[in-house]
Structure 1
Amino acid sequence: METIRIALDWTPNTIHAGFFLAWHKGWYREAGLEIAFISPETDNYQLTPARRLSQRKVDFAIAPSESVISYNTSRRPAAITAVASILQRDTSAIVCLSNSGITRPAMLDGKTYASYNARYEDEIVRAMILNDGGTGAFNPVAISRLGIWDMLKKGEADATWVFMPWEGVEAQHNGIALNAFRMEDFGIPYGYTPLLLAHLSAIPLREAAYRSFLRITARAYTEAAAAPEETAAFLSERVGHPDFARKDFIRDSMRELAPAILNEQGRWGEMQPKVWGRFIDWLVERKLAVPRQPIESWHLFTNKLLGEHSGN
């Protein structure tokens, strides 16, 4: 058996559905693969998924486009590349409690934003506020990443960034009304998120195992997209994390997530240069990403490991 180590981007949730589905159905084992999931709960996010990957502690890491761009354009670049996009469209949003009276991004001026302290994050939020007619003068507060959502729910922050199919659906189930502001609605060509990342130096050494892993994962996500309620019921019975014991929540989360899993051709994981290019150009235009050499988006991602197996 070959072991594949995956650093999750968050506590286990429905965005990881394909991995969990393939694992619990035994598909990885049938292919001679043993999967080890590393949750940020293990060290309360002391090491980010991308950092674990850059240090070669894992085979894959789940992270947003910003992580790939940041690591490849830093003073000490790390050879990290995206090998699949877990979702085909951005399902994230900046949210605030509806009872806060904040009904548009411009009203976040002077407000407290619970930040993950990620590179580019605060500037992206600032751009959203500016694009809505505000001044961009908000107050970012960085705390423990796993406590950010609770900070908003308790009213200790005015806004934060969440995935709507997870925290958004959770809010609905808890009777918490949210106002959500999506990037695309305010002129921000945000990139793929979340992504599955690999280390370039490891790909030639383990290419057969990585291709097999991605083939099985594509099959699982394709099944999850086609049958979200059945997938939710299956995972609720088998994933040992407390969140998955809430069957109605997992069902509604999968329903919300399913339309974002596959592209228009019904394929999972594939990335388009134009999506990368738009986001990179946007960052460079605002001097947020200033590379030591010209950025070429095709150096930051590859579809080659997906082969012909990213769909049915």
Structure 2
Amino acid sequence: MRKNWKSMVKMTAAAAMTAAFAAGMAGCGNRAETSLEPVTVILDYVANTNHTGMYAALDQGYYKEAGLDVNIIEPTEGATATLIAVGKGDFGISYQEDVTVARTSQDPLPIKAIAALIQHNTSGFVTYADKDIHSPKDFEGKTYAGWGGPGEEAVLKAVMAKDGGDFSKLNMVISDGSGFEALKDKADIMWFFEGWDNVKCKLSDFPINYMELRRLDERLDYYTPVIIANEDTLKNKPEMVKKFLAATAKGYEYAIRQPQESARILQKYAPDYSLEMLTMSQEYLAGKYMEDTDRWGSMKDSVWDNYTDFMVEYGVIDKAVPAGECYTNEFLPQ
């Protein structure tokens, strides 16, 4: 039942990509005619607090000050890397694992990560508190509901093995999208992001046990999410890339300094979420965007190599790829 994400990364159907792009553009209105350089950013999902720095840069005029007319759109699920690879957008939001899969696939996508939105992996496994599941070994005989990501099964195998558990005794299904309530009667384990899903649980007084991924295995402290770009864009428009990242860095620095105001800015673009929820999420992520670094967006070879080796070991990819082929810091502000 799990989706084949390797095939999704390699998706090249023109109709699907065109439809995704058109759908995202439909609700954005016409660009004002200006002398600013147009730039399109394709998100990985709906607007959320991972993206706040970009919306802050938009709202505070940092992009315009840099001479850029930035348009942020939402994609169809799973299509961002492909859309960026074929030039449908200038920048996209993706993840280290997806970039690595894209670079090592049979038909490699010409994309690179150019900035990390968050310095550490802020996700983990969650169970309903009343079920008395406290470690990966306890996953035996239980049901995990996930999204079918490229490294999902590998991560579960690794953390269960490290804790003395037997992965073959875990039942894996695709989530039906019903959210955390499914942990009561439809599933036992889910993969949550602490700054988003855990906040929802707290606001709903829904008790959970949370197992932080990077504490279960240090190799799983990979970059998620990242900003990606097409290699042609990096080669042919280096100054535009630098201006975009400099303005984006200012946006994230603003979000770090003023999380409450940043939550109000984000709500303009994500009105379906309560201000209370966005504020709690923003206050959490304010300490995560630049955790353990003094340079927003910077990435390290060691983080890429550790997770690449992990993906090779567990068969997510067939061969290792040098970190330098997957990411670069050269366009970040100094």
Query: TM-score higher than 0.5 here?
Result: yes
Q: Is the 8 A contact 2:115 2:332 kept in 1?
A: yes
Identity of aligned residues (%): 29
| Aligned pair partner of 2:96 in 56, 65, 68 | 65
Gaps of 5+ in 1: none
Matched, 1:225 2:256: yes
What is the aligned length? Answer: 297
* Cα deviation, residue 143, structure 1: 4.6
Aligned pairs for 1:106-117 within 5 A: 106-117=137-148
- Deviations along 1:104-143, one digit per CA (max 9) or x if unpaired, are 2111123222221111211112211221111012222125
Paired amino acid for 2:215: D
* Cα deviation, residue 157, structure 1: 2.1
| Aligned pair partner of 1:173 in 176, 190, 203 | 203
Q: Give SS of 2:287's match.
A: helix
Q: Is the 8 A contact 2:62 2:250 kept in 1?
A: no
* Cα deviation, residue 263, structure 1: 4.2
Report the TM-score, using the length of structure 1 for normalisation. 0.88
Residue number in structure 1 paired with 2:286: 258
- Deviations along 1:189-222, one digit per CA (max 9) or x if unpaired, are 1211111111112212222221111000001101
Matched, 1:186 2:216: yes
Paired amino acid for 1:301: Y
Q: Give SS of 2:186's match.
A: coil
Residue number in structure 2 paired with 1:125: 156
2: CA distance, partners of 1:240 / 1:281: 37
1: CA distance, partners of 2:255 / 2:79: 27
* Cα deviation, residue 178, structure 1: 1.4
Paired amino acid for 1:299: E
| Aligned pair partner of 2:333 in 303, 307, 310 | 307
Gaps of 5+ in 2: 1-35
Deviates more, 1:70-79 or 1:53-62: 53-62
Aligned pair in 2 of structure 1 residues 57, 231: CA closer, same or farther (>3 Å)?
same
Report the TM-score, using the length of structure 2 for normalisation. 0.83
Aligned pair in 2 of structure 1 residues 151, 55: CA closer, same or farther (>3 Å)?
farther
Q: Is the 8 A contact 1:115 1:122 kept in 2?
A: no
* Cα deviation, residue 10, structure 1: 2.2
* Cα deviation, residue 101, structure 1: 2.4
Residue number in structure 2 paired with 1:140: 172
Q: Is the 8 A contact 2:124 2:210 kept in 1?
A: yes
Residue number in structure 2 paired with 1:7: 42
2: CA distance, partners of 1:2 / 1:99: 54
Q: CA RMSD in A?
A: 2.0
Q: Give SS of 2:84's match.
A: helix
Q: Give SS of 1:75's match.
A: coil
| Aligned pair partner of 1:28 in 49, 55, 63 | 63
Q: Is the 8 A contact 2:43 2:72 kept in 1?
A: yes
Residue number in structure 1 paired with 2:13: none
Paired amino acid for 2:58: W
Paired amino acid for 1:118: G
Aligned pair in 2 of structure 1 residues 75, 240: CA closer, same or farther (>3 Å)?
closer
1: CA distance, partners of 2:151 / 2:132: 27
Aligned pair in 2 of structure 1 residues 240, 183: CA closer, same or farther (>3 Å)?
closer
Matched, 1:281 2:281: no
Q: Give SS of 1:216's match.
A: helix
Residue number in structure 1 paired with 2:12: none
Q: Give SS of 2:235's match.
A: coil
2: CA distance, partners of 1:148 / 1:6: 28
Aligned pair in 2 of structure 1 residues 67, 151: CA closer, same or farther (>3 Å)?
farther
Residue number in structure 1 paired with 2:26: none
| Aligned pair partner of 2:109 in 78, 86, 98 | 78
Q: Is the 8 A contact 1:66 1:119 kept in 2?
A: yes
Q: Is the 8 A contact 2:154 2:314 kept in 1?
A: no
Aligned pair in 2 of structure 1 residues 53, 111: CA closer, same or farther (>3 Å)?
farther
Q: Give SS of 1:203's match.
A: helix
1: CA distance, partners of 2:186 / 2:88: 35
* Cα deviation, residue 289, structure 1: 2.4
Q: Is the 8 A contact 1:114 1:148 kept in 2?
A: no
Deviates more, 1:181-190 or 1:191-200: 181-190
| Aligned pair partner of 1:197 in 221, 228, 233 | 228
* Cα deviation, residue 23, structure 1: 0.9
